[in-house]
Amino acid sequence: MPSGAGLLRAAGESVPPTWFVLVGILSVQAGAGVASRLFAVLPPSAVVWLRLLTSAVVLLGLARPALRGRSRADWTVAIGFGVCLATMNFAIYQSFARIPLGIAVTIEFLGPLSVAVIGSRRRTDLLWVALAGTGVVLLGRSDGTLTLAGVLFALLAAAAWAGYIMFSAATGRRFSGMSGLAVASVVGTVMVAPAGVAAGGSALLDPRLLLIGLAIGLLSSVVPYTLELQALRRMPPRVFGILMSLEPAAAALVGLVLLNEFLTLWQWLAVACVVTASVGATRRPAEPAPAPPSGADAEPRQAPGREPD
């Protein structure tokens, strides 16, 4: 008789990997939507700290990283990865508190899009750069829903996401499975702790708020990391990248449903431009399906169009 773990694994393999990616995308944006609603009683710094703390605890339990015998270079890369992870999450939550969710994620997505284009030598990518630039210009046709601080925080998140991609690749070569991500989550948690604890104060002792923070961490980090890892084992990276390009549109829809954030026609066109540019920049000619990755090749949550690290 098959074991419980075997039954779960068989059930997971019967689900198309595309659904894992799509559910992961919706989970991330739903977590962001819940976090945005929590800002009324808990500042963004405290919410992002709870998210990082939750993901660090869960990932440490799942990955159980081996820390002995690590070189100085290993730790330098892991710490850099953690700094980018913390900056990316801190900045985007600050942006969520100031501008609509869909617009913030659209601007943030310029980070991985830039990495995909810079790493390519195709002339057609100039077209995608122009289309993404058009999207940014269209975002400027705002009805007052944008603030300078919110846009700048989203741009900082975009830069941090680009750094996250580069450090993720290096970390994946030095740490197996999710070990590097677990270590980076601890670094990020420690980095954000002073601001998060100071901003949250005694509210962080409220069991109800802690439970909501736990839910945000699970929705925003643990669930998508796990689902995308499984998807990457069963689909070509180029397909994964194209599906991930749907994140700005998913964020806009979640903002509409959960937060009543209505975008203008120009802003929806901007989201469409960035999504289309990302799909175009990450699309590659069909290749033979690669062998299922293992170890360092299985790092989840990578940028569109990149090999799984």
At 244, list the tokens: 């991930």
Residues 169 and 150: their CA atoms lie apart, in Å, by: 29
Predicted local confidence at residue 159, as pLDDT: 94
| Closest C-alpha to 131, from 284, 269, 303 | 269
Instruction: Quote the pLDDT of residue 85.
Output: 92
Residue 306, amino acid = R
User: Under a CB-based contact definition with an 8 Å cutoff, are residues 109 and 160 in contact?
Assistant: no
**Which residues of the chain carry a pLDDT beneath 70?**
1-13, 119-120, 141-144, 284-309
Residue 143's Cβ-side half-sphere holds a number of Cα atoms within 13 Å equal to 9
Quote the pLDDT of residue 65: 83
Specify the 3-state DSSP secondary structure of 308. coil
Q: Note whether 247 and 29 are within 8 A (CB).
A: yes
In the prediction, which pLDDT does 9 show? 54
Per-residue pLDDT at 160: 94
Report pTM: 0.81
- Residue 299's pLDDT is 39
